[in-house]
Structure 1
Amino acid sequence: MRAWIATLLLAGVGIGVAAAAAPHVISVVEPAASKFEFSLQTRWGQTLLGKFPDGEGDVTQLPDGKRQVHLKLSTNTLEIVDHARYTRFARGPRFFDAQRFPEVTFLSDPYPLGLLQTGGELHGRLRIHGIERRERFVLAPAACSNPGRECAIVAQGAVRRSDYDLDGWSMAMRDEVRFSLHVRLRDTEAQ
């Protein structure tokens, strides 16, 4: 999900806002310092926490000075925490179908740099299970002066499984999937 939910959006306070001649990547996601999580709730009230341990992405600065984030999350390595059986099912053909659809991606709409400081809505295109839809994530206000580097960029959002044909577990699981992203960035040298 070179583009995923991410969300994350995010890129770069502390980098000059002067527009460049062409779009260029200014930051990349630091996978080891970032968290890409989701939660599902059973019809009996149990919450299952899932993780995408292999997430990557980048932030591009556009000619007008706005930013755009592109995230990619691997479904081949996703896991349901403390539930090996649920992990196998989540990767399997009746849910994420990791063999046919090995990644979830998110490509944000262009956003102003100030969004990372103030927080607010980040819209974009989310692709899950081969289906692409417009979705919205909400960024929390920054907890530091240089979000993504000094502190994580935090984004949350919810989607409906039925919108993406993730119909496995429909009798046992509620339709909503909630995402929680904590993204850390590393600036590229080509700024």
Structure 2
Amino acid sequence: MTAIAQSTIPANSTWTADTVHSTVGFAVKHMLVSTFRGRFESYDATLTAAEDGTLRLTGSVAADSILVKDDNLAAHLRAPDFFDTERFPTVTFDSTLIRSEDGELIVDGTLTIKGTSRPIEARGTITDPAITLGDVEKLGLVLEAIVDRREYGLDWNAPLPKGGFALANEVKLTVELELARA
């Protein structure tokens, strides 16, 4: 891991997600014409800054906390066709390198879904720490990554009558975290 250039995050500090003011979600092209979005309601994330300034981001999501606008679809997403939440209750992320490049935050790490771990690169922004209401020190972290869902065993799809498929293979993962200093 390496430090973000000119990071103002104090060394030897730990930051935890304020889940009331954070979001972990996904978006996928649906029926060739629109983007379907969902999110997870139960998750945690921790950002730690070591003495040498290196940063590490870890997080986990309770896969069965998936929230979409249709209960039947939510049940299908929890089933073996997708997340198989009975056998694989947790989705995890662990960073291996956090760096800044041309003003953009880049987080490399390992994403594990359904027992399959694959390298992933997320890009986004991080804010400097600020003192907020109640004298709580917080910072913001926004990351996006594109994954091929099939690489994690999320293979279900349905052919459309005139060609194409119900779901795209590429899924955009979006994490917007408000992190409070522990």
Larger displacement relative to structure 2 (103-112 or 33-42): 103-112
Partner residue in 2 for 1:156: 144
CA RMSD for the aligned pairs? 2.6
Task: Say whether residues 1:182 and 2:159 are aligned partners.
Answer: no
Which ranges of structure 2 fall in alignment gaps of 5 or more residues?
Answer: 132-136, 160-165
Deviations, residues 144-191 of structure 1 (Å, cap 9, x unaligned): 542796563111111001111111225421101111111011111xxx
TM-score (norm 1): 0.76
Return the offset for 1:121: 1.8
Partner residue in 2 for 1:6: none
Which letter does structure 1 place at the counterpart of 2:83? F
Partner residue in 1 for 2:162: none
Quick check: which has more Rg, 1 or 2?
Answer: 2
Aligned length: 166
Q: How does 1:22-61 map to 2 (within 5 A)?
A: 26-61=14-49
8 Å CA contact 2:129–2:139 kept in 1: the answer is yes
Return the offset for 1:63: 4.3
Q: How does 1:63-102 map to 2 (within 5 A)?
A: 63-80=51-68, 82-102=69-89
8 Å CA contact 1:117–1:147 kept in 2: the answer is no
Return the offset for 1:31: 1.1
Return the offset for 1:36: 0.5
TM-score (norm 2): 0.80
Q: Sequence identity of aligned pairs in percent?
A: 22
More strand by share: 2
Which letter does structure 2 place at the counterpart of 1:175? N
Q: Distance in 2 between matches of 1:160 and 1:41?
A: 12
8 Å CA contact 2:9–2:129 kept in 1: the answer is no
- Which runs of 4 or more aligned residues in structure 1 lie more than 4 Å from their structure 2 counterparts after TM superposition? 147-151
Which letter does structure 1 place at the counterpart of 2:129? N
Partner residue in 2 for 1:130: 115
Which ranges of structure 1 fall in alignment gaps of 5 or more residues?
Answer: 1-9
- Work out which structure has the larger RCO, using CA pairs closer than 8 Å and 6 or more positions apart in sequence: 1
Q: Distance in 2 between matches of 1:102 and 1:36?
A: 16
